[in-house]
């Protein structure tokens, strides 16, 4: 599989309790979270006695028809949009996952990535658990079904979340409750909203609340478990001693929708401030500032506002391009790149151009942008990036490739500039990026930039377990080896 030109989205989760049209509102919530995952979508609803489920591969509108939504009855539901960071892209791995155990029916939707997944899976299999999927989220389901360990916690839920490590924002559905869980570092966002009729809503981003006209209440705190049922909402802090926060700063840079508010900061404003900060740090004499749509728009606008250089939307995006399409190898040069963005040449001809994007991963797409600008007659092309260079992979749920495929990890800034054929290349500094959020740097995970991983990950443990499993003839050996390789720290 080719390495993506941008990091791919991971997952979006949504849940609602206390509305007669819970499944329909979940559908709209997932629609708003579509940007977080485009491989599969699923909804599980309950009427208090039975679970009703539907999952499918593809985008939310293609997976759910009116008839399907009408069959998902009950006042409570959870939903999930998925991009696979662990486990293959198959319907079996689509979420929410369901189980019927001695404690009743449980469904779970997970955003994130567990760093001790292989170890826990090995332990659970040794104790008789049988896994139906290759996603780490199923480990949580099996842990929830385990007996409570005496002396560790007062409930299987608290016990389960204390055993898993890494990044997780969860929505869990039982016959009588909706539960939201966030890991103690707070890697992934999860917010609480409320509808006019009193129904509670959980969502990865607040833009989902806007669509269904829910009022934002607050964020789920790191380490917090919120339990919503007929009596209202209660809260448990599963990690009262944990202090370090490590919210993924790349949510602000790229992943979250600009109309979402995270940790009290609007994403649009943060990205615009990143562009302003970039202009303060890297002032270039130019005639026009243009963004790479859509991820570079806010930062490019900020650069323009701070520098006084005019802003133009010279690249026009084709919003009807799917994730895959026929790619004639020689019929159209750089077809895969050009089909998505078309350049209005008259806006750049004879001009010194600043082009702003959120990141450079492999660099091939960025090079094509520079080439198209110069072919259109731009006299100079200055490439600006609204975050620092990515030099480390992510093990917490973002599909950053291994270190060997990250351009900035293997080449100097001057080498990258030459590869892009740009007249200059500039990145926003680490301090400048953090400053733009208006929050302290110790509240973020910056591992992809610095190599400081808040939750250590030992790839050698996975390797030992996987080799053990392969020696026993497990058909999942190759799949799990691929998962470990994808998460390995190099």
- Supply the pLDDT for residue 127: 82
**Does 446 map to a domain?**
no
Cis peptide before 96 (omega within 30 of 0): yes
pLDDT greater than 60 at residue 352: yes
* Highest-confidence segment of 6-10, 103-107, 237-241: 237-241
Q: What is the pLDDT confidence band of residue 413, given thresholds at 50, 70 and 90?
A: very high
R_g of the chain computed on alpha carbons: 23
Paired with 147 in beta bridges are none
- Are 405 and 476 contained in the same domain? no
- Are 83 and 218 contained in the same domain? yes
Q: Which residues touch 158 (CB under 8 Å, ≥6 apart)?
A: 225, 236, 238
- Are 388 and 475 contained in the same domain? no
Q: Residue range 235-256: average pLDDT?
A: 94
Q: 35 is in which domain, residue-wise?
A: 11-243
- Supply the pLDDT for residue 468: 44
- Are 136 and 227 contained in the same domain? yes
Which residue among 243, 278, 293 closes a domain? 243
- Supply the pLDDT for residue 130: 79
CATH number, domain containing residue 323: 3.40.50.2020
- Supply the pLDDT for residue 89: 57
* Highest-confidence segment of 8-12, 438-442, 455-459: 438-442
**Does 256 map to a domain?**
no
What do you get for the CA distance between the two ends of the chain, in Å? 19
Percentage of the chain with pLDDT > 70? Answer: 83
Better-predicted residue by pLDDT, 467 or 250: 250
- Supply the pLDDT for residue 459: 58
Percentage of the chain with pLDDT > 90? Answer: 65
**Does 368 map to a domain?**
yes
Q: What is the pLDDT confidence band of residue 477, given thresholds at 50, 70 and 90?
A: very low
- Supply the pLDDT for residue 285: 96
- Supply the pLDDT for residue 462: 43
Q: What is the pLDDT confidence band of residue 138, given thresholds at 50, 70 and 90?
A: confident
- Supply the pLDDT for residue 135: 79
Mean pLDDT of the chain: 86
Contact 290, 354 (CB under 8 A): yes
Cis peptide before 294 (omega within 30 of 0): yes
Element (H, E) at 222: none
Q: What is the pLDDT confidence band of residue 88, given thresholds at 50, 70 and 90?
A: low
Alpha carbon distance 323, 61 (integer Å): 15
- Supply the pLDDT for residue 486: 40
User: What six digits make up the tokens of 376?
Assistant: 């259109």
- Are 308 and 396 contained in the same domain? yes
- Are 81 and 25 contained in the same domain? yes
Q: Residue range 241-266: average pLDDT?
A: 94
pLDDT greater than 60 at residue 228: yes
Q: What is the pLDDT confidence band of residue 126, given thresholds at 50, 70 and 90?
A: confident
pLDDT greater than 90 at residue 483: no
- Are 213 and 171 contained in the same domain? yes
Q: Residue range 131-148: average pLDDT?
A: 80
- Specify whether 11 is catalytic: yes
- Supply the pLDDT for residue 101: 75
User: What six digits make up the tokens of 473?
Assistant: 């003839």
**Does 481 map to a domain?**
yes
pLDDT greater than 70 at residue 147: no
Catalytic residue among 11, 394, 445, 448: 11
CATH number, domain containing residue 53: 3.60.20.10
424-427: strand order across its sheet: 288-291, 352-357, 380-385, 424-427
- Are 186 and 76 contained in the same domain? yes
- Are 213 and 308 contained in the same domain? no
φ/ψ of 361, rounded to 5, equals: -100, -75
**Does 363 map to a domain?**
yes
Better-predicted residue by pLDDT, 330 or 448: 448
Element (H, E) at 55: strand 51-57
**Does 451 map to a domain?**
no
Sign of CA dihedral 188, 106, 242, 224: positive
- Are 204 and 333 contained in the same domain? no
Which residue among 228, 243, 258 closes a domain? 243
Q: Residue range 110-132: average pLDDT?
A: 87
Which residue among 193, 226, 243 closes a domain? 243
Least confident of 220-224, 227-231, 411-415, 477-481: 477-481
pLDDT greater than 60 at residue 450: yes
Q: Tally the residues of the chain.
A: 490
CA atoms within 13 A on the CB side of 192: 23
- Supply the pLDDT for residue 343: 95
pLDDT greater than 90 at residue 189: yes
Q: How many domains does the chain have?
A: 3
Better-predicted residue by pLDDT, 461 or 299: 299
Surface-to-core class of residue 380, CB atoms within 10 Å of its CB (0-12 exposed, 13-18 middle, 19+ buried): middle
Contact 180, 190 (CB under 8 A): yes
Give tens-digit pLDDT for 22-67.
Answer: 999 999 999 999 999 888 999 999 999 999 999 999 999 999 999 9
Contact 340, 317 (CB under 8 A): yes
- Are 489 and 344 contained in the same domain? no
- Are 416 and 474 contained in the same domain? no
**Does 305 map to a domain?**
yes
Alpha carbon distance 220, 205 (integer Å): 11
**Does 361 map to a domain?**
yes
pLDDT greater than 50 at residue 330: no
């Amino acid at each position: 599989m080719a390495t993506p030109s941008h990091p791919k989205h991971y997952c979006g989760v949504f849940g609602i309790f206390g509305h007669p049209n819970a499944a329909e509102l979940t559908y709209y919530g997932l629609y708003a979270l579509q940007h977080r995952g485009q491989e599969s979508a699923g909804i599980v609803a309950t009427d208090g006695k039975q679970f009703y489920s539907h999952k499918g591969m593809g985008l939310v509108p293609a997976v759910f028809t009116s008839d399907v939504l009408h069959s998902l009855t009950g006042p409570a539901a959870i939903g999930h949009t998925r991009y696979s960071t662990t486990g293959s892209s198959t319907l079996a791995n689509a979420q929410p996952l369901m189980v019927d155990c001695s404690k009743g029916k449980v469904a779970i939707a997970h955003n994130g990535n567990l760093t001790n997944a292989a170890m826990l899976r090995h332990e659970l299999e040794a104790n008789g658990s049988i896994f139906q999927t290759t996603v780490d989220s199923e480990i949580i389901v099996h842990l929830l079904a385990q007996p409570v360990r005496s002396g560790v916690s007062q409930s299987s839920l608290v016990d389960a979340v204390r055993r898993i490590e890494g990044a997780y924002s969860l929505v869990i559905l039982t016959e009588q409750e909706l539960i939201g869980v966030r890991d103690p570092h707070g890697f992934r966002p999860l917010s609480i909203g409320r509808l006019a009729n009193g129904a509670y809503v959980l969502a990865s981003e607040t833009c989902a609340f806007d669509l269904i006209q829910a009022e934002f209440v607050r964020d789920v705190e790191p380490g917090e478990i919120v339990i919503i049922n007929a009596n209202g909402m209660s809260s448990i802090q599963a990690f009262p001693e944990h202090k370090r926060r490590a919210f993924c700063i790349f949510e602000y840079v790229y992943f979250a929708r600009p109309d979402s508010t995270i940790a009290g900061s609007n994403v649009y404003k943060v990205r615009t401030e990143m562009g302003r900060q970039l202009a303060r740090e890297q002032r270039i004499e130019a005639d026009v500032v243009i963004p790479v749509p859509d991820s570079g728009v806010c930062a490019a606008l900020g650069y323009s506002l701070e520098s006084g250089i005019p802003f133009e939307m010279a690249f026009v995006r084709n919003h009807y391009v799917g994730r895959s399409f026929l790619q004639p190898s020689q019929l159209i040069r750089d077809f895969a790149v050009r089909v998505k963005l078309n350049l209005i040449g008259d806006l750049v001809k004879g001009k010194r151009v600043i082009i702003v994007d959120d990141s450079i991963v492999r660099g091939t797409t960025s090079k094509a942008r520079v080439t198209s600008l110069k072919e259109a007659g731009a006299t100079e092309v200055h490439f600006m990036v609204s975050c620092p260079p990515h030099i480390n992979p992510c093990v917490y749920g973002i599909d950053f490739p291994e270190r060997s495929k990250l351009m900035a990890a293997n080449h100097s800034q001057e080498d990258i500039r030459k590869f892009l054929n740009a007249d200059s290349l500039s990145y926003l500094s680490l301090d400048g990026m953090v400053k733009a959020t208006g929050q302290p740097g110790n509240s973020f995970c910056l591992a992809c930039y610095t190599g400081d991983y808040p939750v250590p990950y030992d790839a050698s443990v996975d390797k030992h377990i996987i080799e053990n499993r392969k020696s026993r003839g497990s058909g999942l050996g190759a799949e799990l080896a691929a998962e470990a390789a994808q998460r390995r720290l190099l």
